[in-house]
Chain A
């Protein structure tokens, strides 16, 4: 199982060419605005705008679907909960807002090179140097975070395949334990590799 969740897709659209800082700032604004979305109509409007942005970036329904798929169960459960407890309007608003924000965040990473995002974060974090925070390290953390998603998903796929190949059924524990072991081992080796590449200075 290999994923391309939220990973940069080269392109030449306006969204690709927009500076990374502008995109991140817009994302923050969208996050603030979303707090004030209270009606199904306004949320529906936000969703339409989001979908239009995907189209403008030249990203098709398949890419869109890939960003949503990992969240699907969470959204279904949330929707069911709010339907029962607070009615359909609330269900649409809650699920819709999460959907819009996730899609927008994914849109930023899909249309921006990680290096550019890292550069912006390093720049924004520069004042933190005074309180002892190394901005380069904050940026690195972001890069590693983005890079780690496919790694862990890939490890999960490997564990699953190994289980199937050995004729083991799907026991959650037989899945979780080796996944945890592999993830920790990966983290350990990554630490060594980062040190070797001079990141501990």
Chain B
């Protein structure tokens, strides 16, 4: 697995510090991130592909610096956002899936084959020529996730990708995510998704306050939340 390294990373939005001196080295296969609303999880995730630059400290993703080598890093890291609407860039379902493959310069057949595979994953085979904006919220989220995974990035970072999914789809996505061969960093409020994970970070007020196996980290997080 690639190594993701944060060394003394702080981040401030207009002088308001939302991440404070975070140092972690992630080498595990599946890493979860939990924490209260506004604790800094999304900021942490965005550091990993250079969408946010650290105010101080350094980030290395497989040895690359997302600040100076943003392009290379983003080629390595697939990023799935919470809001699926903003991630869909083509008008129809199949076209949006194919969009991410354009820069891979695959043959027509290869592209079609992969699109087929991920249409199946998203349960959207019957909707291939459907306008993407007419899908339900959960279907859009599945499409957005499939659009990231179809490019086979080496590292997959997901920021609450399952918030709109029904039970069956959430379980399917959880299984699929757990089965991904790539390194996965998953930010989520759905704690049961983290059971098969190797390591879970608990973020609170800009600090990593716990860093352990899922059961232990989740119970620390619960205790933390009970006091609020």
Contacts and interface: CB of A to CB of B under 8 A. Distances in A.
A164 interface: no
Contact of B92 (A114, A154, A190, A200): A114
B36 interface: no
A144 B132 CA distance: 13
B134 A115 contact: no
A10 B129 contact: yes
A32 B217 CA distance: 68
Given A146-B91, A151-B85, A4 B134 contact: yes
A53 B103 CA distance: 36
Contacts, number: 88
A195 B64 CA distance: 17
A165 interface: no
A197 B146 CA distance: 12
Nearest to B49: A196
A154 B133 CA distance: 8
A59 B70 CA distance: 46
A150 B83 CA distance: 16
B197 interface: no
Interface of B: 49, 51, 70-71, 74-75, 77-79, 81, 83, 85-92, 95, 98-100, 102-103, 129, 131-134, 147-148, 151
24 contacts: A2-B133, A4-B134, A8-B129, A8-B131, A115-B98, A136-B102, A143-B99, A146-B91, A147-B88, A147-B89, A150-B91, A151-B133, A189-B83, A189-B86, A190-B89, A193-B89, A196-B49, A196-B74, A196-B77, A198-B71, A198-B74, A198-B100, A200-B70, A201-B74
